[in-house]
Chain A
Amino acid sequence: MTNLARLSRTDWFGPLLATILAVLLIQSLSANFLSAYNIQILLLAIAVNALVAYSQMIIIAIGQMNLSVGAIGGLAAISFAGAMEVWGLPAPLALTFALLIGLGCGALNGVLIRITGISAFVITLATLSIFKGINLGITEAQPFYGIPEGVKRFGGAVLVGPVPWLLVPTLLVTAILWFTLRRLPVGRFILAVGSNDHAAGLSGISVGRTVIIAHAISGLLAAIAGVLVVARLQIGQPSIGDDWLILSFAAPVIGGAILAGGHVSTTATFLGVVIVAIITQALVLFSIDPFLVQVVLGVLILAAVGLNKLRAGAATGGR
């Protein structure tokens, strides 16, 4: 009993339970759900969406928000595709270029927030429009089609059975991120700044540097997500990233992240992404309207923040 109580207090237990229940329920209603083809589609969605969610999660960890996640991802995506088509760069160089762009955009957000002291909301709203504008200015809303065969093959390849290669970078990032937030000083600094930046500053943590690092990581993760989408779609669409905003908040919040900062969980966020993917897939499977996906995402966010609040109240003895 005490074990169960302790489990219920961890972030990943609730989402895991919900995931298992959802899988069992949907499988019992539709035998197709766990077919190899369906699982592959699920995993492809998870591969990209998890990175998008992490990109927001790391900013939620420092108690801020990043509206420009999608714009950075889109800019990195078209840089990746454009560098290969227009400049004829080999894929690894183009990849490095795109990731550097993402890192730079994120760091720029962090620097601006730090030196001006203006709320992250306003700064990232401004950079959202700047990055998106640069994207549209370069592409004039036309996609890049000249993606090399190697990248296309990577986007469609499977590792074993239904597991796509695209999932590999995501799993690596998940492990690195988990280790960073759990064990590395910089990860602990990020969480400390998020829970109380004043106290963190007094204990010798450079708050400014930590904020900039967190934003740089966020930009990098968004860029990886953008590149993966290019590999999957096999074209460099300028509209990549346009619909990431809601999703990027939904998964961390379902994973128990506290928006005030200082408390996030990589595994629970991953499970949050899995839940969103399963529900989206179920809506398609039962041929319920795909338009309703947005409604479901919104309801999920509301339910999750409500639950988190109840949980926080219970943990502190009810407030």
Chain B
Amino acid sequence: MSVAPVPSALPESSSDGFARLSRTRFLLSNEFGLILLIAAFALLFAVYTSGFLSVFNLFSLGRNAAVNIMIGLAMMTVIVTGGLNLAVGAIGVCAAMGCGWLLQILGLPWPVAILGGLALGAGLGAVNGWMVVRTGLHSFIITLATMSIFFGVMIFLTRAEAFRDFPEAMTAFGKMRLLTYLSPLLLLTFAVALALAWLYRFTVTGREMLAAGANPAAAELSGIRVGRAIILCHMLSGLLAGIAAMMLVTRNGAAIPSMAGQLGQDWLLPAFLGPVLGGTLLQGGKVSVLGTVLGAFLVTMLSSGLLMLQVGAFWVQTFLGLMLLVAVLLDKARRSWLARRNLA
């Protein structure tokens, strides 16, 4: 199992001094529950399916998990502010198509094209953030509108045609295997997750983002520029969505306008599953990078395992929806149990 020890970014865990209490807390935490679930399901799939632990399956599992975790992190950075970003999929596809355009039409070298695509993603995210701050409207309606606009403009400009001429160097990265089963994409994802954990735990900018999400009025009064923090969060979300899309491009060897479904809607479920399973509060102000990584990993593993159990590809979506439902119910039960015992 390739779950790296990413440090938890729970704000309260940094402030306790009692080892025993913090250990009890960890055992009761969402993250520990997720690790148990991952272990249990991995065992189940390993026993009941043939080939779940095969080198090929572990490799493709890691590759899919890398993308899903990145999508979850892209949503997480906005959930931190108490908002949503429905446009993650649309921004991702725009970034991928932008990269393809720079490569194929302008003939730029691939590192420049990738940077250009990522910059486009971050830029579109910044547009979202700027509009949310300037209008004071909820990010739900703003990103609902921009998801339609971004995707529509992208389809209009590309004539819905894919870019397929990607250089060897990029596609080779998507196919590369380290130690026979590990995809470098997964390592890239872990690096990004570590950077995010560091951002939220140790940097002023990260703490300001959390404060702006927890209580904007109080944050403003303590001298934090809330508007700037929110724009930064949306920018980060756009950037991460762009990275997720680039990973898909290196994997598929093509930038396809429909790679995230109609308007990028296919990314919405994985985007919310990771953070919500991982215990990131939708009201904002609290974040768990480790939880998001574990949550997204669990989802990827379950979809892959269910397919191998021959559940039928069409039913997997139903199971994922049911899982989101069960997860939020369990989390609610856990919280109220903790509240009764004064542990949280």
Q: Taking beta carbons and an 8 Å cutoff, which residues of A are in contact with B?
A: 65, 112, 116-119, 121-123, 125-134, 136-137, 140-141, 242-243, 245-246, 249, 253, 259, 289, 291-299, 301-302, 305-306, 309
Contact = CB atoms under 8 A, between A and B. Distances in A.
A136 B325 contact: no
Interface stretch (B141-149, B165-173, B182-190): B141-149
B312 to A, nearest CB: 7
12 contacts: A118-B329, A119-B282, A130-B321, A131-B321, A133-B314, A136-B314, A137-B312, A141-B314, A298-B144, A301-B145, A302-B149, A305-B142
Nearest to A67: B268
Interface in B142-176: 142, 144-149, 151-153, 155-156, 159-160
A121 B282 contact: yes
B318 interface: yes
Given A133-B319, A259-B141, A291-B156, A122 B276 contact: yes
A129 B276 contact: no
A292 B156 contact: yes
Given A249-B144, A301-B148, A117 B332 contact: yes
Contacts of A253: 141
B169 to A, nearest CB: 32
Contact of B321 (A116, A126, A140): A126
Nearest to A117: B332
A299 B145 contact: yes
Contacts of A246: 144, 147-148, 263
Nearest to A127: B321
A292 B332 contact: no
B195 to A, nearest CB: 27
A242 B317 CA distance: 14
Interface in B265-297: 265, 268-269, 272, 276, 282
B269 A294 contact: no
A243 B318 CA distance: 19
B262 A134 contact: no
B332 A116 contact: yes
B256 to A, nearest CB: 16
B156 A122 contact: no
Contacts of B276: 122
B318 A291 contact: no
B133 to A, nearest CB: 14
Contacts of B319: 133
Interface string B106-148: 0000000000000000000000000100011110111011111
Q: Is the interface of A mostly helix, strand, loop or mixed?
A: helix
Contact of A289 (B131, B156, B320): B156
A297 B141 CA distance: 12
B308 interface: no
A130 B325 contact: yes
A259 B138 contact: yes
A298 B146 contact: yes
Interface of B: 84, 131, 135-138, 140-142, 144-149, 151-153, 155-156, 159-160, 262-263, 265, 268-269, 272, 276, 282, 312, 314-322, 324-325, 328-329, 332
A243 B145 contact: no
A309 B282 CA distance: 24
Contacts of A127: 321, 325
B321 A129 contact: yes
A273 to B, nearest CB: 16
A264 B317 CA distance: 33
Given A122-B282, A125-B269, A298 B318 contact: no
A140 B314 contact: yes
B317 A133 contact: yes
B33 to A, nearest CB: 18
A125 B148 contact: no
A299 B131 CA distance: 13
A129 B269 contact: yes
Contacts of A126: 321-322, 324-325, 328
Given A116-B332, A309-B136, A299 B321 contact: no
B152 A291 contact: yes
A303 to B, nearest CB: 9
B248 to A, nearest CB: 20
Contacts of A292: 152, 156
Contacts of B156: 289, 291-292, 295
A243 B147 CA distance: 13
Contacts of B262: 242-243
A245 B265 CA distance: 10
Contact of A129 (B146, B314, B317, B328): B317
Contacts of A133: 314-321
A295 B324 contact: no
